Structure 1
Amino acid sequence: MSNTPSPASASSSIDATQAGDGMRLRDRRHVSNWLLSICVMLLGMIALGGATRLTGSGLSIMEWRPLTGIIPPLTHAQWEHEFALYQGIPQYKILHDGFGLAGFQQIFWLEWIHRFWGRLMGINLLGGLAFFAFRKALTRGLVIRLLVFFVLGGLQGAIGWFMVASGFRPDSTAVEPVRLVLHLGMALLLYVAILWTALSVRFPEPEVLPDMAGARRTRTFLHAALGLVGLTIVAGGFTAGTHAGFVFNTFPLMDGHLIPEGYAKLSPFWYNWIANIPAVQFDHRLLATVTALTIGLTVLTGMKTKLTTRAHAAVALLGWAVLIQYALGVTTLLLVVPVWAGTIHQTFAAILLGVGVFAMHTLRGARRGRS
């Protein structure tokens, strides 16, 4: 009788094989796909956040109820109650006075969907964690990391309310730009952390890179590029928060000037970077251009280097992604920030960041100290 295993049994054996951390290969695929689904939901959340900001919907829900807020108004009396609360804030009196209950319901539903989507992400994370932990498909370290992500997700909800509450001030019709950037930054931090975790679960061991010296050069440029992507997104957050995109709608010059007039009119000087509209928009343009050039250098270096197929594909994809994002930014500016363009531009910034993280993950083997 032959002892040679059948193809089916061999496949089962491969699926059951455990890596050094104890996770089975089959479980890795399932856990990675689940974490990637959360990343996709985070992209949806970023898109919804952009839409709520551009339509002025973010202040339409005046109460923060993490649990009971999942139920929208169900009766006319409840709708009248919510509308009465909204009529008491400056945004209604200055921007929407007289637009009626029907108009209020339109902006309410967009903000409600935004908050509901956040709750769905929490359910997805906690439910998946419980399911895979019950199946013993997770290591202890991964369970702890995922619990930290859940806590940070809850904190993100609190930061969201902290941001919204700033729009209730007597002299305000929008949220504070600093709080908006804090809220966006936390969302991107979670996105990057969960994406990196998903990739590490799927690909636990770094690939062997044929040209280590060239891979390290590529990785160094990529580090700089990702740092610039982050700074550009922060600058974009201040551009959105100060509504700087609605002026200087020419490109590449700003109303005929390379550097706009009034760039340094505020004191202290650094305050121009977060509150002075000409400076805020110029900084975003400048950072976007430097970022695109740095990614271009990264792509050229990576394409000339002997890397793995996956690493080459990731670097090339990063080049295409930054071209798309730059074109989206110019389009949004020239069209004076229509809702659809502004929303896509904000969302694709996160996609560009994600592609950069993927490229960095493929080059893990080039870290200093590795042979």
Structure 2
Amino acid sequence: MAQKRSIFEDVGSEDSTRATPRGGMIDARPRGARKAVRAWLWVLFALVVAMIFVGGLTRLTDSGLSITEWAPVTGAIPPLNEADWQAEFEAYQQIPEFQLQNNQMTLSEFKSIYWWEWGHRQLGRVVGLVWALGFVGFLVTRKIPPGWTGRLILLGALGGLQGAIGWWMVASGLGGDRLDVASYRLATHLGLAFVILGLIAWYASNLSRSEAELIQARRAREPVLTRFASWLLALTFLQIILGALVAGIDAGRNYIDWPLMAGGFFPPDAFGIEPVWRNFFENDATVQFMHRMTGYLLFVVGLVFFLRARKSSLRKTRATWHAVIAMLVLQIILGIVTVMHSSPWYLAILHQLGAVALWVFIIRARHQNAYPAQQSVRTA
């Protein structure tokens, strides 16, 4: 039977020995080295951007077919003597690009294009090594934040797939009567590079805040603007793929008048290849027309979404969308200037890097819409 308590007894005197209530999951201290993993991801991000840059220069210098075999391990060692160089050159002489286009090339000229492709492949090996060392290191030391192991493995798997697709692309130009790699394989290769880049940027943005902060921020998300950013991201990805098709068949070096094409809105001979479906991948007039029209559509859609985003009460949301529309306008102007100058390598590579910047800015805007950063009333 419980003892009677005095009405003058201090409230809570017998509860003083009870354990202090524990907080929930949202109050728990962050586990894992979020800052260290995030820094590692940004290193990977920089390397992937460098891969896109060097890959673009490799294509623009027609160097992509100079190495005719895929040797992931032994291929890291370049030719070390004159006999090795001669063997590599003889292998290159067996493919259509040399026989039909570069049959006057000297060994010295071959060495210059060989180094571009070797450097591109070597950089790919560095990306894989940085991923492997970082992932294994964080795994062994148990520094990977909860729930992130699968995401980091996904990045490594996509990187490995990218290497295989790169060889699949190169192999398309080693036989038959093709002088270059297949444009749709080039588009697949570049498209996957942007997917990897986007995932790294998204993951790094998530790791910039704790899980508790992300959960709290998600409650204030702006669903309409998040959807707008997703749609703009999808349309931008389509434009990037079309840009890769333009690059794959050198379509940017023809039809250099603007806003017309060969004096008209619709270019002549847009469906001159049989069967008809091949025109959408191999006809320089059709591919460049699609790229132009998608660019105009992208600008209109981006402008509409930007005008809607300006009404947001969050200052950082407005700032991210201002960055998107500014980069979009710059990228369109750069594209027009590039085609009107018949796509010189320096403008073409700058246009490709502009696509990288636009891609990242849209991802940044989507992240801000999905996980709005807190702000005080004064900064609204």
Seen in structure 2, the aligned counterparts of structure 1 residues 19 and 281 have a Cα distance that, compared at 3 Å, is same
Q: 2:279 aligns with which of 251, 272, 280?
A: 272
Please list, as runs of the form range in 1=range in 2, the aligned pairs for 1:38-57 lying within 5 A after superposition.
38-57=44-63
Please state how far the C-alpha of 1:223 moved relative to its aligned partner. 2.2
Q: Is the 8 A contact 2:128 2:156 kept in 1?
A: yes
1:234 aligns with 2:246: no
Deviations 1:4-57 (A, max 9, x none): xxxxxxxxxxxxxx97797448x2222112102211211111111111111100
Partner of residue 92 from structure 1, selected from 94, 98, 106: 98
Partner of 1:123: 129
Q: 1:296 aligned to 300, 303, 309, which one?
A: 303
Residue in 1 aligned with 2:149?
143
SS in 1 for 2:350: helix
Deviation at 1:238, TM superposition (A): 1.0
Task: Provide the residue aligned with 2:357 in structure 1.
Answer: 351
2:76 maps to 70
Q: Which amino acid aligns with 2:187?
A: V
CA distances 1:153-184 after superposition (whole Å, capped 9, x unpaired): 11111110010011012301100111111111
- Counterpart in 1 of 2:226? 219
Match of 2:341? 335
Among residues 262, 266, 269, which one is paired with 1:262 in the alignment? Answer: 269
Alignment of 1:199-210 (within 5 A): 199-203=205-209, 204=211, 205=214, 208=217
Specify which of 321, 329, 336 is matched with residue 327 of structure 2.
Answer: 321
More helix by share: 1
Question: Retained in 1: the 8 A contact 2:31–2:145?
Answer: no
1:30-41 equivalence runs, <5 A: 30-41=36-47
Q: Are residue 253 (structure 1) and residue 260 (structure 2) matched?
A: yes
RMSD: 2.2
Count of residue pairs the alignment pairs up: 345
User: Equivalent pairs: percent with the same residue?
Assistant: 34
Asked whether the equivalents of residues 211 and 305 of structure 1 are also in contact (C-alpha less than 8 Å), the reply is: no
- 1:23 touches 1:138 (CA, 8 Å); kept in 2? no
1:277 positional shift: 1.6
Gaps of 5+ in 2: 1-24, 373-380
1:161 maps onto 2:188 in alignment: no
- The offset of 1:134, in angstroms, is 3.0
For the 8 Å contact 1:207–1:362, the answer to whether it is kept is no
Q: Which has the larger radius of gyration?
A: 2
The residue number in structure 2 matching 1:5 is none
SS in 1 for 2:94: coil
Q: Do the aligned partners of residues 129 and 21 (structure 1) sit closer, same or farther apart at CA in structure 2, a change above 3 Å counting? A: farther
